[in-house]
Amino acid sequence: MTDTVSTSRGPGSINGTKAAKNEKPSKVGAAGTWADDRLGLAKLAKGNLRKVFPDHWSFMLGEVALWSFVVLLLTGVFLTLWFKPSMTEVVYNGSYTQLRGITMSEAYESSLHLSFDVRGGLLMRQMHHWAAMTFIAGMMVHLMRVYFTGAFRKPRELNWVIGMLLLILGTLEGFTGYSLPDDLLSGTGIRAADGFMKSQPVIGTYMSFLLFGGEFPGDSIIPRLYAVHILLIPGLLVALVSAHMLLLVYHKHTQWPGPGRTEQNVVGYPMLPVYAAKAGGFFFIVFGVLALMGGLLSINPVWRFGPYIPSQVTAGSQPDWYMGWPDGALRIMPNWELHLFQGPGGIPGVTFPLNIFLPIIILPIATFTVVLLLPFIEAFITGDKRDHHLLQRPRNAPTRTALMVALMTFYGVLWLAGGNDIIATHLRLSINEITYFNRVAVFVGPVIAFIIARRWCISLQRKDNEVLLHGRETGVIMRDAQGGYTEKHEPLSPAAAYTLTARDRDQVFVPAAEIDSNGVVAPTARKDRLRARLSRWWYGHNVQKPTLAELADAHHHTEIEEAHDALLLGHPADGHQFDGRHDVSGDELSSHRAPQD
């Protein structure tokens, strides 16, 4: 019997050339096809969902800030449902008995209601506050990691600027947030902000009247801060975070140097499923830690401070930690004032309070501007216009590392000065002596920190070169036939040696001739002279990696040592085998042991 095979290509074909498919796609598939036909999402997802990201623990510092921001948004939505941003006075009759019958604003009353009467309200309040401080701390540490490793270099300068804007906005967001409860502590901060604004010449009083709706405290500041806190700044933060992430994907993530890693590739794991799963897991870790902190660690207990009364101030009041450094600058600033336009007979003129204007207005603006411009300053000094996707070890950029350490020292001294009263009372020290010390340390400390950090990095560079040329110290002592002792060195693995040598040689900028053959002075001569001096200061003390000739000589020397040591291997020197780890029975030297009592 002969089998027959149908060659039909119709619906009833059993041996067609096309792959079988479901004639009726699922509803989800149909919806996906409909969206893709109009938005082109499939092509976009195909190119990005398999995008590779490198893996290193230091890259998680930025994720701490990102997931803390997500927790801020989630807890903030919860708090918005119960908080009342009103300064209308009411009489409290809630659960907290010690404040019953006290007149307070609706903002403070709703904060107490959230803390004591809303289920989970206190947990959400404290999670929100801890997340805010973790968000700013994560951004600061992430920015330091980016600067120390050179991740801000071309083409990522714009992402550095975005990161700085995020830090500034995050700080302002934190200030507006902890000012909303209208308790005595937050009211003290708002009162200080009013004084800061009024310290500005000409426009200060107008700015204060505009913000407070009249003379301080007015009845508009809480609603206005609330609008800024939940609408304006969060919208800017979401936009900047989105731009930051888009640029991260567009430029591709930086990676540490190593075998197989170049400026043209990325070695790591794809977005799906590996990186997405790890990032999702890390979000739940951050969320869980913040939940534990919110549940176990009390923060901003507004019920202890009472409602804000303009005639009162909280003793020992301190702002949140990220506002401590300008507060410290204010505390150690000398009492400098200018009295202008005074008339005859002591007619009052204009008082310009430099002791407030300089540390609170000028210093933060100048500091943020300098830090924001750091990538562009370094690019001008080095003249480096190349794209960089490989990170640098901090020791391989000594001046850059020392510069950031100096800035950290400057920040740290001011931050400690912000708690001079607490330090004085707890350690029983003179607050005047603490203030005088900080006034000197804020200038001397960064210089000392810069010198120590740069010399430290240069020493580490020399150590790397020594390990590359001579190998790693093993602690094994060899004795030769002439009685000399040498330590055995073990050569580095090819991967470790590659990592230590995967850096460019530093090139000090040498300016061209200032006057050409026609006697015309170059238009950039002055700028080139400045850049040459800065380049010598930036690179002049660096230790360069070994040359190929030096590596070849070291390799030849290692071969000679290995040939010499090969004769000694397996033959312990007399007297050195009695270390408790070798069998000495039958050894001829055993008879020379000292007699036992």
pLDDT tens per residue, range 405-429: 999 999 999 999 999 999 999 999 9
d(CA 158, CA 243): 10
Domain count, the chain: 2
Strand partners, 483: none
d(CA 500, CA 493): 11
Q: Is the pLDDT confidence value at 590 over 80?
A: no
Is 209 a domain residue? yes
Strand partners, 352: 338
In terms of Cα–Cα distance, which of 99, 96, 305 is closest to 186?
A: 305
Residue 26: HSE in the Cβ half-sphere, 13 Å Cα cutoff: 3
User: Tokens 């951004």 belong to which residue?
Assistant: 139
Is 591 a domain residue? no
User: Tokens 């069998």 belong to which residue?
Assistant: 583
d(CA 107, CA 126): 17
Is 278 a domain residue? yes
Which has more confidence, 41 or 13?
41
Span 61-66, average pLDDT: 94
Is 120 a domain residue? yes
In terms of Cα–Cα distance, which of 396, 504, 54 is closest to 252?
A: 54
Span 167-196, average pLDDT: 93
**Count of all residues that appear for the chain in the document:** 597
Range of the domain at 90: 51-316
For residue 580, the 8-state DSSP code is: S
Cβ atoms within 10 A of the Cβ of 92, count?
17
Cβ atoms within 10 A of the Cβ of 575, count?
10
Strand partners, 319: none
d(CA 181, CA 225): 11
Q: What is the pLDDT of residues 241-296, one digit of tens each?
A: 999 999 998 898 999 998 888 888 999 888 888 888 999 999 999 999 999 999 99
In terms of Cα–Cα distance, which of 125, 109, 241, 105 is closest to 177?
A: 125
Strands 472-479 and 269-270: unpaired
Residue 47, token pair as written in the block: 């190119």
Q: What is the pLDDT of residues 492-503, one digit of tens each?
A: 888 888 888 888
Per-residue confidence (pLDDT) for residue 5, from 0 to 100 = 43
Which has more confidence, 341 or 146?
146
Which has more confidence, 596 or 154?
154
d(CA 322, CA 177): 13
| Contacts of 298 by beta carbon, 8 Å cutoff, 6+ apart | 126
- The secondary structure element, H or E, covering residue 277 is helix 276-296
Phi then psi dihedrals of residue 152, to 5 deg: -90, -5
Span 93-119, average pLDDT: 94
Which has more confidence, 208 or 482?
208
> Which of 159-173, 267-281, 548-562 is the most confident on average?
159-173
Are 152 and 375 in contact by the 8 Å Cβ rule? The answer is yes
Is 582 a domain residue? no
Span 83-99, average pLDDT: 94
Q: How many angstroms separate the Cα of 422 from the Cα of each of 241, 299, 318, 417, 448?
A: 37, 18, 9, 10, 26
Last residue of a domain, which of 316, 346, 361?
316
| Contacts of 109 by beta carbon, 8 Å cutoff, 6+ apart | 84, 90, 92, 94
Are 299 and 130 in contact by the 8 Å Cβ rule? The answer is yes
Q: Is the pLDDT confidence value at 91 over 70?
A: yes
Residue 70 is part of a domain; what is its CATH number? 1.20.810.10
Q: Strand, coil or helix: what is 105?
A: strand
Is 545 a domain residue? yes
Phi then psi dihedrals of residue 350, to 5 deg: -115, 130
d(CA 25, CA 12): 19
- Residue 313 pLDDT class (50, 70, 90 cuts): confident
Is 238 a domain residue? yes
Q: What is the mean pLDDT of the chain?
A: 86
For residue 569, the 8-state DSSP code is: T
Q: Is the previous residue joined to 181 through a cis bond, with omega within 30 degrees of 0?
A: no
Q: Is the pLDDT confidence value at 78 over 70?
A: yes
pTM given for the model: 0.85
Phi then psi dihedrals of residue 40, to 5 deg: 65, 35
Is 373 a domain residue? no
- Residue 517 pLDDT class (50, 70, 90 cuts): low
Last residue of a domain, which of 291, 316, 341?
316
